[in-house]
């Protein structure tokens, strides 16, 4: 019984059949109760039948206690003559002598103790089984006492009564201990369940906090801060990059759309529409093809993003242009996806918003500012020029510098020369409008020649 009940708890490996039987018994309540009851009843029945077939155990013990002589003790010590001959009555009913009748009550105590050790059975069932076993054993003891009272020619003993009282007290003690054990087990189960729930809530809160951090900061920056167990408020995070693409995209006619009138719920409806637009833009970043593009921030209706900030990207200076600046072409594709997303929103809301965008490339410095409210941002001349490309551009167009144009030519993009424009802090810069992708390499080469002619005309 103990082997099947505790098979999973054995420190050594046991046979698979025993493990399957243990799992089966533990998983089915009715099978577990039937298994427990059957084994206890079987052991108790064997003890009771053996005692019933014994030839007046307490009578034999009383007579032996009154007439014990030195010769009897010597005969009992002799192993060859240890058996006691049966009387005519004993032979007639097939009984055997019982030199130690108290062993039957002791065996009942062992049965009760074994029954109380099984924690998988309910306290009420164990108590009922133990009461039945103890009651049967006490009845057998009292029956032997009744036989003693009718045998006046033999000695008299109170041992059956003492054994019955001891058995009853032991049963009561086991019932009390089982009740306390089950109560403790239930409390431990409730506490364990509460701890698991608190652990799950803590894990859920942690996941939400991590998701919030990953939404505020880029993944590699968030991983850096989440990996630091002891954060210092004065600790700074900054990183310099040499080849980065920067995109600014704004809706210049959104300021005309925004109004704080009652029809717009004091401007709330306008902000709700802007939130829908920005959310659709953010959703584009979840696509696998745009995993190397990071949203930096939004300023009003202006959306700022950058490419090439992934530290896992390994490039060399002698790598081809298509390898080094693949992320810049990806940033251009992202810009076209922004246009498509805004067109879809316009069709659904019956609006006519357009994007004015500017793209530039070059070195920048990225870092996190703020300790309690961190914000990831990028700085540098590249960022300033990209912002000027957007602010001086034309609605519905993507304006780029001449250096950026030369790089994107390798990826098959077609440009339209705009001319020289005045850029604050940079003087006059030659800029181009990005039209789209060429259908064939010949168109790209031809477009490149046009750029050269345009440059010559500008110099003259």
The residues annotated as belonging to the active site are 388, 424
Q: Strand pairing of 356-369 and 398-401? A: parallel
Residue 392 near residue 352 (C-beta atoms within 8 A): no
DSSP for residue 55: S
Taking Cα atoms as reference points, which of 118, 105, 86, 121 lies closest to residue 44? 105
Those residues with Cβ within 8 angstroms of residue 59's Cβ, 6 or more apart along the chain or in another chain: 144, 147, 148, 151, 154
Question: Please, is 410 exposed, middle or buried when counting C-beta atoms within 10 Å of its C-beta (0-12, 13-18, 19+)?
Answer: middle
Torsion of CA 104, 106, 112, 116, to 10 degrees: -160
Q: DSSP string covering 344-404, please? A: HHHHHHT-----EEEEEEEEEEEEEE-SSS-EEEEESHHHHHHHHHHHTS-TT-EEEEHHH
Distance of CA 370 to the CA centre of its chain: 32
Scan for tokens 């009461």, then name that residue: 131
């Amino acid at each position: 019984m103990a082997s099947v009940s505790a098979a999973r708890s054995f420190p050594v490996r046991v046979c698979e059949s025993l493990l399957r039987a243990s799992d089966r018994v533990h998983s089915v309540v009715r099978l577990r109760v039937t298994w427990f009851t059957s084994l206890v009843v079987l052991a108790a029945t064997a003890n009771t039948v053996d005692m019933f077939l014994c030839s007046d155990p307490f009578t034999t013990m009383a007579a032996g206690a009154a007439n014990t002589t030195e010769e009897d003790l010597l005969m009992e010590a002799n192993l060859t003559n240890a058996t006691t001959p049966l009387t005519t009555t004993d032979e007639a009913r097939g009984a055997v002598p019982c030199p130690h009748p108290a062993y039957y009550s002791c065996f009942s105590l062992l049965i009760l103790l074994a029954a109380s050790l099984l924690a998988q059975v309910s306290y009420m069932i164990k108590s009922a089984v133990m009461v039945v076993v103890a009651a049967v054993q006490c009845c057998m003891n009292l029956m032997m006492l009744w036989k003693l009272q009718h045998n006046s020619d033999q000695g008299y003993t109170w041992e059956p009564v003492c054994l019955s009282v001891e058995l009853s007290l032991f049963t009561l003690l086991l019932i009390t201990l089982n009740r306390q054990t089950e109560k403790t087990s239930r409390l431990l189960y409730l506490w364990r369940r509460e701890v698991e729930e608190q652990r799950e809530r803590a894990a859920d809160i942690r996941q939400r906090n991590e998701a919030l951090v990953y939404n505020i900061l880029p993944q590699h920056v968030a991983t850096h801060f989440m990996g630091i167990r002891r954060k210092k408020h004065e600790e700074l995070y900054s990183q310099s990059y040499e080849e980065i693409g920067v995109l600014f995209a704004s809706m210049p006619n959104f300021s005309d759309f925004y109004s704080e009138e009652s029809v717009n719920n004091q401007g709330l409806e306008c902000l709700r529409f802007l939130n829908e637009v920005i959310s659709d833009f953010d959703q584009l970043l979840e696509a696998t093809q745009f995993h190397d593009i990071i949203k930096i921030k939004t300023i009003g209706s202006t959306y700022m993003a950058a490419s090439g900030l992934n530290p896992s990207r390994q490039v060399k200076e002698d790598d081809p242009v298509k390898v080094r600046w693949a992320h810049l072409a990806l940033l251009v594709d992202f810009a076209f996806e922004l246009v498509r997303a805004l067109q879809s929103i316009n069709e659904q809301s019956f609006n006519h918003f357009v994007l004015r965008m500017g793209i530039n490339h070059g070195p920048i410095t990225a870092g996190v500012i703020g300790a309690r409210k961190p914000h990831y941002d990028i700085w540098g001349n590249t960022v300033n020029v990209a912002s000027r490309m957007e602010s001086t551009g034309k609605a519905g167009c993507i304006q780029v510098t001449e250096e950026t144009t030369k790089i994107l030519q390798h990826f098959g993009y077609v440009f339209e020369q705009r001319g020289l424009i005045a850029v604050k802090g940079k003087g006059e810069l030659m800029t181009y409008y990005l039209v789209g992708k060429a259908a064939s390499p010949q168109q790209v080469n031809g477009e490149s020649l046009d750029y050269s002619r345009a440059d010559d005309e500008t110099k003259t």
